[in-house]
Amino acid sequence: MFIPPYYHDLSVSHEGCLPTHAYFMPASRPMDLIGERRAASDRIQLLTGKWAFRYHDSIYDVDEEIASARFAGEPAFFDEGFDLSSLASIPVPSCWQMFGYGRHQYSSSSYPFPVDPPNVPADVACGVYIRDFTWQSDEDAPRTVLAFEGVDSCFYIWLNGSFAGYSQVAHATSEFDVTDLLHAGSNRIAVLVLQWCDGSYLEDQDKFRMSGIFRDVYLVRRPMHAIEDFFVHTSIDRTGSAAVSVELCFTEGEPIDVHGRLLDADGLLVAKSDCVELECSGQSDPAARDAGSRAFQAQSRLEFKLLDAHLWNPEEPYLYHLELMSEHEVICERVGVRAISVNDGVVRLNGRAIKVHGVNRHDSDPQTGFCISQQQFIRDLALMRQHNVNAVRTSHYPNAPHFYALFDEMGFLVMDEADNESHGTIDVYRGESASWAEARYHWDALISDNPAWVEATLDRVRRCVERDKNRPCVVFWSMGNECGYGQVFERALAWTHAFDPDRLTHYEGAHHAYDRRTFDFSNLDLYSRMYMPYDEAEAYFECEGLRLVAEKRTAGAPDPTPGGAPCASQGDRWAKSHQLPLILCEFSHAMGNGPGDLEDYFKIIERHEGFVGGFVWEWCDHAIDRGITAEGRRIWTYGGDSGEVPDDGSFSCDGLVWPDRRPHTGLAEFKNVFRPARVVVFDQAVGRLRLRNLLDFVDLADVLSVVAELRVDGEPVEKIALEKLPRIAPHGEATLALPQIISAIPRSGHATLIVRYLLRRADAVRPVGFELGFDEIQIRTEDERCARAAKVLAATGGARVDVRQSAREVVVFGADDAGRSWRYAIDRRTGMLARMGIADRELLDAPAELNIWRAPTDNDAGVRKEWEEAGYDRVRERCRFCSVSCSVDGVDVDCVIVLAAAFRQPMAEVHAIWSFHSSGRIDMTLDLTRDPVVPRLPRWRFPSLPRFGVRLFLPRSMKYVSYCGYGPNESYTDKRRSSSYGLWRARVDELLEPYIRPQETGSHVDCDFARVEGAGVSLDIAMPEGADPFSFQALPYTQEELTRKRHDHELERSPSTVVCIDRAQAGIGSASCGPRLIERYRLDEARIKFRLALMPGVM
């Protein structure tokens, strides 16, 4: 081949690359070049914009074109003089799949090619990029470096017809010295990008697989003798003074004079220093320099002393400005003074214990793919700050280098992760040994414990660490994600710990190291887990924690390893014995309607100081924007929609925000769970509450004000503002008095106190008064019934109730005290309400149904199979007994209803009593007994229920809703913290969240009153006195339609307004990729009683 076969040669990851160094952008004078302002430097020349482009299905097509050109004596694509007229154009940066080349492929973990490392398919697709540009030399900066910040998967470069180099590692910067290849005036660069290479085995992240030059390309002019790299270290003493040390190394290994200045945030000089040459200076090994992976070797140092230093932390991200000035160049950098440590199993920043409330973030956009602009990035960070996110894991690769300054500036703790995942090696065929435990045991065989892959992995870790080593936001170095464990990571952790002992090392894969051999965990600073069950997290902090975990895992299951090793892995045991802090690098899977377990995790995290916290999976849904339908509905596509194999379906739609960054209700849930303060005690008798500061660094009085609002029956009746709080130190508590609120509490009604936390001082993304969260407190009254519900229940009067019976139905009719006639019918075959008419208007489009099914959420994926196997999705009612009794007050219809599905025995029996009052009110009592006795069969247990309640089909014209319950966001028993009890009003169309994959949505928990109305009629729904509250849902779709369809834009509206009134629903949880739903949130009672009142009306 004319193209060197580096792309499947494990011994060649880079050719012609410069050593990796800390990211910085030089200039000829001091300038603020943070983020995209770097384009203002007189030393950078961006090569972004339109490039000529040609896509090839196979690299052999390119090779044959080169051969043909050579044979004909014509220029090949990389030669000067090549005719560009036949090429298309494509923007750089971009991903070629977003422009119709190749096809989209989403895979969570499976390789899109055969698992035969380091080989990839012979016909690997590729793209040719060509651009002409003008270049002029600079006598003060005659050396020119060509930089590529992100190319997937590997690339070859030619400049003016000469081969300049080769590189891979998609999300790392690759630099080439092209000084001798440029000439004044017009120049041509040609790049060949391959879709796959041997490095693709280490880039098997859970994402859409995309290709191309997706980050910036630019030239940088440098002096011949200049700073090649520098490393900023900060230290703090007990007096509050700090030291900033800057270690320097130089091009060609020749020290130069460097003068340093340190300025405060206002630009005032606070310290200066001249560099001191170090005795240990030396030039790195030339072979290592060619490989682009040399370790930093300091040759000179600058020292700055700061008295009473301002420290950097995520709540007050104070940054100093550093200027490094040499003869022909100035480098400006920002410095955050902070110290990270682990003491007694607790992670501390600047000596204070911290909590991580983080998210996993991919580079992803529905229109630009991996290609993310600074505006898109800032939009993400702004939303995070507005929702109390304080940390980001760069899953599972480094972000663009100039974006980290934004993390610094906006105050985020960052887990910086190397571009390293070989998850798909777990998918090798194992014959009959197909268990997950067996798979984990052999996971590391191909790569992570294979010496042939050590250098390739080390290269990726070094490129991450070396590039981002000066970022104060980075507190954790992560070796990668889901690769198993072995010598590859033992070496990577050892190098990282030795190179940067001032930060903490992380790799979750150590948890998967079983007793196949003795592994080295000595360079791990954290015990990391994904989706750790709640009881295991609690057990970790108990004396016998690992034994309890092992017993939990082995209960009723075979040993997970061929050698019969204990279920608590070797990595688990090391972490426990060495008191490593616990961090969840992924938890609370936010797929679809979810997550539902944030509050439960929060309580465990707060309970244990050694529990650092975690990163929710994940920030955004991944989907492709395919435009809108004729009806104006957005078309989102996901795995499998492009016909790709393999694919993982809608597993990509697992974020807290939509692909276009509209927040899901899950993000609102996150915000309020991780609010900065909480009421821990409320004494209603004296009108005082005890407020706890959950911040780690800032006094609440400096950042928050409080507004307390008293609601009665869901409506505000009194509000007070506390603009100035008492001093409440981090993790401390103080008492607030609310006498005005207490004096306004009425004798009756459903009363609640909402305590809102508002920002006192604005920042870049949050104005003064921005709400950071709230607490809700139940207030006692003499009669705690909601007045609206009580009014329904108090309805009296009306004419005598009459009954007409037939073999098919029981018809009850009468008139209210206004003379309006009503007519209801019970179907004797089902025992359910079949008709509900008032004033000659029928309110039921179809008979009411007992309802135990819900459209499975993504988090129901595991239990869904059990539900469908049991027949919950096709259950039917059959009335076994029906009797009618009359009294002065009305008529009672008593039914015994059996619930069963085709080819299944009865799963439940319901004793239903329908009480019809002369006022027109219907009282419903349902008493469900699960797993009834079936003669001659054992009493087998059916699985827990999705829900239990009734479903009504009202006319579509009844499209307006009001309810007293938890809103305005959808709410469930374990997903309700972003909602509060109130009187909420909406149209039916507004009550659902249109998840990309349709599923259960829009329920509202703990309601005691609801009304559906429209076109002159209404239906009131009320909780009877002494009964339990209900969940309420009104949607334009049936649960069957939501179950059946794969995409939201495919949904067809029901001809009716579909109203579900539930005694209870199962919780939401996060079991799509997490622990099973917590037992207390399962609907698994043997007997469930449900009471409800219905009152039709005419408006």
Residue whose pair of structure tokens reads 């910036």 in the numeric block: 216
- Residue 697's DSSP bridge partners are none
Q: Around 729, how many Cα atoms within 13 Å sit in the side-chain half-sphere?
A: 2
Burial class (CB in 10 A: 0-12, 13-18, 19+), 822: buried
Q: What are phi and psi of 673, to 5 degrees?
A: -65, -40
Contact 786, 749 (CB under 8 A): yes
Pairing mode, strands 88-92 and 151-152: unpaired
Tell me which of 482, 993, 1000, 1041 is the catalytic residue: 482
What are the structure tokens assigned to 581, written together?
A: 């802090």
Query: Closest Cα to residue 307, out of 271, 336, 335, 352?
Result: 271
Q: Around 457, how many Cα atoms within 13 Å sit in the side-chain half-sphere?
A: 31
Q: How far is CA 619 from CA 227, 404, 902, 1020, in A?
A: 37, 17, 42, 39
Region of 649 please: left (phi>0), alpha (psi -120 to 50) or beta: left
| Cα–Cα–Cα angle for 805, 809, 813, rounded to 5 degrees | 60
Query: Closest Cα to residue 336, out of 515, 493, 138, 470?
Result: 470
CB atoms within 10 A of CB 934: 12
* Three-state secondary-structure class, residue 781: coil
Question: E strands along 150-241, which residues?
Answer: 151-152, 154-159, 162-168, 174-177, 185-194, 207-208, 212-213, 217-222, 227-236
Query: Closest Cα to residue 355, out of 589, 604, 633?
Result: 604
Query: Closest Cα to residue 3, out of 159, 155, 118?
Result: 155
Catalytic site includes residue 609: no
Order of strands, sheet of 1004-1007, starting from the edge strand that comes earlier in the sequence: 846-851, 947-955, 1056-1065, 1030-1035, 1004-1007
What are the structure tokens assigned to 672, written together?
A: 């309020």
Q: Determine the Cα–Cα distance for residues 248 and 277; give it in Å rounded to an integer.
A: 9
What b/e sequence results for 319-354 when a residue is b if at least 16 CB atoms lie within 10 Å of its CB, and e otherwise?
A: bbbbbbbbebbbbbbbbbbbbbebeebbbbbbeebb
Query: Closest Cα to residue 754, out of 772, 736, 775?
Result: 775
* Three-state secondary-structure class, residue 358: strand
Contact 835, 818 (CB under 8 A): no
Tell me which of 15, 586, 709, 1041 is the catalytic residue: 586
- Residue 759's DSSP bridge partners are 704
Torsion of CA 278, 280, 285, 291, to 10 degrees: -60
First CA to last CA distance, the chain: 82
Catalytic site includes residue 586: yes
CB atoms within 10 A of CB 284: 16
Query: Closest Cα to residue 184, out of 128, 257, 253, 135?
Result: 135
Q: Determine the Cα–Cα distance for residues 321 and 809; give it in Å rounded to an integer.
A: 83
Residues with catalytic roles: 482, 586
